[in-house]
């Protein structure tokens, strides 16, 4: 098991650019209304209102359930976060998954064996290709794509799963860079 816990002080403290406080506040209030709180990871994006809006828009798209299930998206984020050693994202996605009614022990077992992830059998090829895309992208091949197609996924679905993994990897790197490791980091 990887040790991903530390108690570092954040290197930056979120502050919207002068004149854009209301723009940032509107986005953060919408997040609070949806989740009941504002994740500190999103607060960090207050420095750049366009990036904050873009990030929130992407999260909304990936969590819409329109094409791919919210539980698959959360599991992709969770396992990418685990491999990226982003404790904030690990904790956040464990919370999302357990709030969906998924057993925490099953979620954590997927860290060691992604094949044990509590996702639908049809979703496994998407989970595999998403993880492979961030862990070993040079070895993603047509067999990976065909495995996903073989269970009925479109090219868009495959792309979305990989894009979700890459997006989460980037988010994890930003949070780790600035030592935003737990909710409450900016308290």
| Of 52, 76, 45, residue with least CA distance to 159 | 76
- Establish if 84 belongs to a structural domain: yes
pLDDT reported for residue 4? 45
- Establish if 8 belongs to a structural domain: no
**25-67 pLDDT per residue, tens:** 999 999 999 888 999 999 999 999 999 999 999 988 988 878 8
Count of structural domains, the chain:
2
Token readout for 118 is 């509590």
pTM of the model: 0.90
- Establish if 36 belongs to a structural domain: yes
Residues 98 and 51 in one domain: no
Residues 77 and 108 in one domain: yes
**112-125 pLDDT per residue, tens:** 999 999 999 999 99
pLDDT reported for residue 6? 54
Helix, strand, coil content of the chain in percent (nearest 5) = 70, 0, 30
- Establish if 127 belongs to a structural domain: yes
- Establish if 7 belongs to a structural domain: no
pLDDT reported for residue 122? 97
Q: Supply the CATH number for residue 97's domain.
A: 1.20.1290.10
């Amino acid at each position: 098991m990887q040790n991903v816990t530390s108690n570092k002080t954040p290197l930056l403290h979120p502050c919207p650019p002068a004149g854009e406080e209301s723009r940032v506040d509107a986005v953060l209030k919408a997040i609070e209304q949806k989740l009941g709180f504002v994740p500190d990871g999103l607060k960090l994006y207050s420095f750049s209102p366009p990036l904050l809006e873009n990030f929130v828009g992407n999260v909304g798209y990936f969590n819409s359930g329109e094409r791919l299930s919210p539980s698959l998206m959360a599991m992709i984020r969770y396992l990418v976060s685990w491999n990226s050693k982003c404790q904030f994202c690990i904790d956040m996605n464990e919370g999302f998954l357990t709030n969906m009614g998924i057993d925490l022990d099953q979620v954590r077992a997927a860290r060691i064996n992604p094949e044990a992830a509590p996702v639908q059998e049809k979703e496994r090829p998407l989970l595999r290709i998403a993880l492979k895309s961030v862990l070993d992208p040079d070895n993603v091949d047509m067999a990976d794509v065909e495995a996903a197609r073989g269970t009925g996924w479109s090219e868009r679905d495959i792309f979305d799963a990989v894009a979700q993994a890459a997006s989460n990897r980037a988010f994890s790197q930003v949070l780790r860079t600035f030592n935003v490791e737990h909710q409450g980091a900016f308290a």
